[in-house]
């Protein structure tokens, strides 16, 4: 299953999506954005049929996850065209962020500009030990436009987000781990295996429950505590109508391993 500049490989219940423009350090251009949209279309329509329960997003090669946007396109871009580009990227990344299945970003090398914004739209990030993160748009007279100024402060706090975006500087994998930007740092050779291992654990859990947990965390972040608790209670109650709840509870009581069906 290949799209232009993107490769897909399914390993059991885990889908690995690889952005593949190694000659341009996997930089985002219209081809990649359109292909990512097509990938999400396919995933949204095929999750149940294909048995996909978790997804990993990574970049081809050892140098970069996604090194940013294709800067050459900015040379002649008008303000109205830039506005439309930002809206396109934001809409696409929101689709990724709200995808029903969990998405792990496996960052191998540079995740700069739009690359970091793409990783931030995933549920969490695993990084190789040579990974570098940054939003360097201010060095170009620009600012992040694909959700970077929205998601980064929510991930690491406003103070650190301001420092990174104002200076346009980069941080290495260990600093990214310390500030809570990434969940785990591993040797580059182990990155995909580690991400796959965790994705398989997630895939073994009840998929409807995982989807509702993801929705509760995402939607609850923008609600008051009372409203967020109300949402959580609603979703909790809905799970009692699922077959997976019966399977899980029966397996626990019977001390067996549950085999969730996603129903």
**Alpha-carbon gap, residue 106 to 184, rounded angstroms:** 10
Q: Torsions phi, psi of 8, nearest 5?
A: -125, 140
Q: In this structure, is the dihedral angle defined by the CA atoms of residues 27, 28, 31 and 35, taken in order, positive or negative? A: positive
User: Helices 207-220 and 225-238 meet at what angle, rounded to 10?
Assistant: 170
Could you give the CA distance from residue 186 to residue 169 in angstroms, rounded to a whole number?
22
Active-site annotation holder among 44, 84, 97, 137: 137
Is 117 tagged catalytic? yes
Angle at alpha carbon of residue 174, lines to 152 and 189, rounded to 5°:
105
The three-state DSSP-derived secondary structure of 92-146 is HHHHHHCCCCCEEEEECCEEECHHHHHHHCCCEEEEECCCEEECHHHHHCCCCCC
Catalytic residue among 23, 44, 117, 238, which? 117
Where are the alpha helices (H) located in the chain, listed in sequence order? 30-50, 79-97, 114-120, 148-156, 158-167, 173-178, 191-203, 207-220, 225-238, 243-254
Give the residues across from 134 on adjacent strands.
Answer: 112, 170
> What is the CB neighbour count within 10 angstroms for residue 42?
17
33, 74 contact by CB (below 8 A): no
**Annotation says 137 is catalytic:** yes
User: What are the C-alpha distances in Å from 252 to residues 149, 202, 205, 229, 256?
Assistant: 43, 18, 13, 26, 6
Active site residues: 117, 137
């Amino acid at each position: 299953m290949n799209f232009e500049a993107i490769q897909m490989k399914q390993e059991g219940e885990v889908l690995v999506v690889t952005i593949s423009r190694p000659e341009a350090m996997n930089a985002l251009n219209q081809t990649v954005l359109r292909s990512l949209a097509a990938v999400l279309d396919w995933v949204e329509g095929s999750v149940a049929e294909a048995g996909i329960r978790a997804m990993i997003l990574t970049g081809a090669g050892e140098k970069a996850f996604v090194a940013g946007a294709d800067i050459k396109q900015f040379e002649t871009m008008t303000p109205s065209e830039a506005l439309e580009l930002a809206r396109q990227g934001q809409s696409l990344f929101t689709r990724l962020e709200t995808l029903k299945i969990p998405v792990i970003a496996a960052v191998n090398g540079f995740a700069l500009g739009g690359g970091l914004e793409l990783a931030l739209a995933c549920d969490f990030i695993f990084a190789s030990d040579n990974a570098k993160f940054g939003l360097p748009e201010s060095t170009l007279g620009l600012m992040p436009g694909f959700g970077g100024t929205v998601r980064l402060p929510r991930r690491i706090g406003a103070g650190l987000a301001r420092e990174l975006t104002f200076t346009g500087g980069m941080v290495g994998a260990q600093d990214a781990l310390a500030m809570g930007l990434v969940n785990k740092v591993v040797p580059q050779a182990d990155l995909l295996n580690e991400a796959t291992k965790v994705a398989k654990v997630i895939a073994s859990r009840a998929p409807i429950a995982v989807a509702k947990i993801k929705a509760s965390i995402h939607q609850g972040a923008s609600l008051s505590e009372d409203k967020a608790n109300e949402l959580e209670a609603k979703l909790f109650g809905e799970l009692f109508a699922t077959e997976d709840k019966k399977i899980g509870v029966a397996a626990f009581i019977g001390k067996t391993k549950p085999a969730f069906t996603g129903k």
